[in-house]
Amino acid sequence: MANGSEHPALEALRARVEEEDAAYAEVLAAIDRLCAFPLPAEAAPEIRERLLRLNELWPAPERPEGGGLGGLLRRRAWDAVAPAVERQATFDAALVQLLNAYLAQADGLHARLREFAGALVRYAQRVQPLVDARDRVATALATTRSELLLEAFDRRIEGLLALRDRLEVVSEEVRAIRGSLAAGSPPPTIAAAAARAAADSAYTAFENRFRGERDDIRSRLAGYAGLFQDLAPVLDLGCGRGEFLDVLREHGVPARGVEGNANVARECREKGLDVVEGDVVDALRAQAGGSLGGVFAAQVAEHLPPAVLTALLAEAHRALRPGGLLLLETPNPRSVLGLLEVFNRDLTHERPLHPETLRFLAAAAGFTDVRIEMRTPVDPEGQLRAVPPEGLPEAAAAALNDNVGRLNALLYGPLEYALLARR
């Protein structure tokens, strides 16, 4: 996941790790500062000089010698003050010895303290790479375990999806056979209908999966209903599950459909829709000339070989009355996304139909007022984004965004288009 979409627990863990890293760095920096303290002799070198001077001065003076009256007076004065001088000398000696011993021990202690701080820093510096390596190993192991779990999960999902697809096909097959048996035809007819219904069930399941939900299809096709409001009756070619017939019925437009898939044709009739099973071109040929107001076919034209498509256009032109409307919806091959995701998904598609090709064929069949309408645009969120102009020369930004627009038109053009042709 991106950082902006991480799980709250992972975000909290990441914040805690960053907090602990910051605390470790702060402690390491404090140790570094403590390790850099100077020894007393380095901070105040005059202390050592004064101690040397004190050692030079502390020995007591000796009793004066000499003859004469002066020598006698000096000796008598010395003898008078000698007890006090001796006590002072004893005190000075003890004080100097104490200072010498204290400073010697203090020097050793400070040296050991500096050595300890340095060792602590070196240890912390060795611990950090070890912790980092452990974290990397733990992360790699966690990633590997996660990848293995995801791979196993993906395989399980793929198996479940395959099972779901198979169940959908079997469900459609059972429903088709039951419908054929409930039709009440003679046994040979029932057997043939059931066999055909079973054969059609796989494609029915395919359409259920990839064409979309019935309500979604109804909503998408509802935009066409107004075009046929005054053009009854309407013939829906390849009507499928009858979504457009439902829409026309809601709008009060009489319509009927033809569908080659026996299963869905029967389901349409069960819903009260006027649908027959058969070929779309044969259904048009069965109509009297000028008897239809509209012909509609969604996702049908791309299934037809060129000769059959040409015949369909010709028969639609014959069956429509003047002013009648032919509307053919088909995947848009000028959109790379439409070609890859819509057209190529269905193996029964014959060939993609370029809008200009279909327009030309309709005009050649005699239709007038032939036009193309693009349908099903791609969400802009799924397209290439324009480049913000900040930081770029104006001409460069304009050229770049013009190219982005061209690429979007090519790659993410509307997924489908509709041919509208008047008789």
Predicted local distance difference test score (pLDDT) of residue 165: 57
Q: Which residue's structure tokens are 């500096």?
A: 114
The pLDDT of residue 232 is 93
Cα dihedral across residues 67, 70, 74, 75: positive or negative: positive
Q: How confident is the model at residue 377 (pLDDT cuts 50, 70, 90)?
A: very high
Q: Which residue has the tokens 């012909």?
A: 295
Round the average pLDDT of the chain to a whole number and report it: 80
Per residue in 61-73, pLDDT tens?
Answer: 666 777 777 777 7
| C-alpha 413 chain-centroid distance | 22
Q: Which CATH number fits domain 213-422: 3.40.50.2300, 3.40.50.300, 3.40.50.150, 3.60.70.12?
A: 3.40.50.150
Q: Which residue has the tokens 């009648």?
A: 324
Q: Would you list the domain boundaries of the chain?
A: 3-153, 213-422
**Integer Cα distance of 88 and 83 in angstroms:** 9
> How many angstroms separate the CA atoms of 59 and 370, rounded?
129
CA atoms within 13 A on the CB side of 193: 22
DSSP state of 251: T
User: At residue 14, does pLDDT exceed 90?
Assistant: no
pLDDT-based confidence at residue 104 (cuts at 50, 70, 90): confident
Q: What's the pLDDT band for 2 if we cut at 50, 70, 90?
A: very low
With 70 as the cut, is the pLDDT of residue 150 above it? yes
pLDDT tens-digit readout, 222-279: 999 999 999 999 999 999 889 999 999 999 999 999 998 888 888 899 899 999 999 9
Q: In the structure encoding, which two tokens stand for residue 111, read together?
A: 């040296």
Is the preceding peptide bond at 233 cis, omega within 30 degrees of 0? yes
Here the tokens at position 122 are 């070196």
Contact 176, 198 (CB under 8 A): yes
In angstroms, the CA 415 to CA 378 distance is 7
Q: At what angle do helices 68-181 and 46-57 cross, to 10 degrees?
A: 150
Q: What is the pLDDT of residues 318-356, one digit of tens each?
A: 999 999 999 999 999 999 988 888 888 777 788 899 999
pLDDT for residue 302:
93
